Structure 1
Amino acid sequence: MLVIICLRCSSCGRDSEASSKMEDFYELELNIKGLSNLEESLDDYLSVEALNGENQYSCESCQKRVDATRCIKLRSLPPVVNFQLKRYVFLPKTTTKKKISSSFSFPGQLDMGKRLSDPSSNYIYDLAAILIHKGSAANSGHYVAHIKDESNGHWWEFDDECVSSLGFHPFGEKPGKSSDKADQKSEGTSTEGSVANGNNSSHHEAALTSNMGEMFSSTDAYMLMYKRSSKDENGIKSNNIVEASNSSLPRHLMDEIDALNASCVNECGEYLSKKDNLLASIQERRQEVKSVITEAPATPDDDSYFWISLDWLRQWADNATPPSSIDNSPIQCEHGKVPASKVTSMKRLSAKAWEKLLSK
Structure 2
Amino acid sequence: MQQDAHEFLNFLINHINEIILAERNQSTLKLQKTDGTKEGVTCNGTLPQSQNSDPTWVHEIFQGTLTSETRCLNCETVSSKDEHFFDLQVDVDQNTSITHCLKCFSDTETLCNDNKFKCDNCSSYQEAQKRMRVKKLPLILALHLKRFKYMEQYNRHIKVSHRVVFPLELRLFNTSDDAVNPDRLYDLVAVVVHCGSGPNRGHYISIVKSHGFWLLFDDDMVDKIDASAIEDFY
Q: Shorter-chain TM-score category?
A: 0.5 to 0.7
Runs of 4+ in 1 over 6 A off after TM superposition: none
Output the CA distance in 2 between the equivalents of 1:108 and 1:122: 16
**Cross-structure match for 2:195:** 134
**Cross-structure match for 2:75:** 12
1:160 CA displacement: 2.2
What is the count of residue pairs matched by the alignment?
Answer: 169
Matched, 1:85 2:145: yes
What is the Cα-based RMSD across aligned positions, in Å? 1.8
1:58 to 1:28, Cα distance in 2 relative to 1, 3 A: same
Output the CA distance in 2 between the equivalents of 1:14 and 1:127: 39
Task: Give TM-score scaled by structure 2 length.
Answer: 0.67
Q: Is the 8 A contact 1:3 1:22 kept in 2?
A: yes
Q: Which amino acid aligns with 1:130?
A: V
1:80 CA displacement: 0.8
Output the CA distance in 2 between the equivalents of 1:146 and 1:122: 26
Output the CA distance in 1 between the equivalents of 2:182 and 2:151: 41
Q: Which amino acid aligns with 1:159?
A: D
Percent identity reads: 27
Of the three residues 182, 194, 204, the one matched with 1:143 is: 204
1:94 CA displacement: 2.4
**Cross-structure match for 1:124:** 185
Output the CA distance in 2 between the equivalents of 1:122 and 1:162: 37
Q: Which amino acid aligns with 1:154?
A: F
1:121 CA displacement: 6.2
Q: Which amino acid aligns with 2:75?
A: C
Task: Specify every segment of 5 or more residues in structure 2 that has no aligned partner in the other structure, as ranges.
Answer: 1-63
Output the CA distance in 2 between the equivalents of 1:31 and 1:122: 23
1:168 CA displacement: 4.1
Of the three residues 130, 153, 166, the one matched with 1:70 is: 130
> 1:199-278, aligned counterparts within 5 Å?
218=234
SS at match of 1:110: strand
More helix by share: 1
SS at match of 1:78: coil
SS at match of 1:80: coil
Output the CA distance in 2 between the equivalents of 1:61 and 1:122: 34
Task: Specify every segment of 5 or more residues in structure 1 that has no aligned partner in the other structure, as ranges.
Answer: 172-194, 199-217, 219-360
1:25 to 1:155, Cα distance in 2 relative to 1, 3 A: same
**Cross-structure match for 1:294:** none
Radius of gyration: which is bigger?
1
Output the CA distance in 1 between the equivalents of 2:158 and 2:93: 11
**Cross-structure match for 1:163:** 222
SS at match of 1:147: strand
**Cross-structure match for 1:56:** 116
Output the CA distance in 1 between the equivalents of 2:148 and 2:182: 34
1:28 to 1:121, Cα distance in 2 relative to 1, 3 A: closer
1:10 to 1:130, Cα distance in 2 relative to 1, 3 A: same
> 1:274-289, aligned counterparts within 5 Å?
none
Output the CA distance in 2 between the equivalents of 1:61 and 1:147: 50
Of the three residues 52, 62, 66, the one matched with 1:3 is: 66
CA displacement 1:219-242 (0-9 Å, x = unmatched)? xxxxxxxxxxxxxxxxxxxxxxxx
1:115 CA displacement: 2.6
Q: Is the 8 A contact 1:36 1:103 kept in 2?
A: yes
Q: Is the 8 A contact 1:35 1:41 kept in 2?
A: no
Q: Which amino acid aligns with 1:163?
A: V
SS at match of 2:96: coil
Higher relative contact order (CA 8 A, sep 6+): 2
1:165 to 1:98, Cα distance in 2 relative to 1, 3 A: same
Task: Give TM-score scaled by structure 1 length.
Answer: 0.44
Output the CA distance in 2 between the equivalents of 1:134 and 1:165: 19
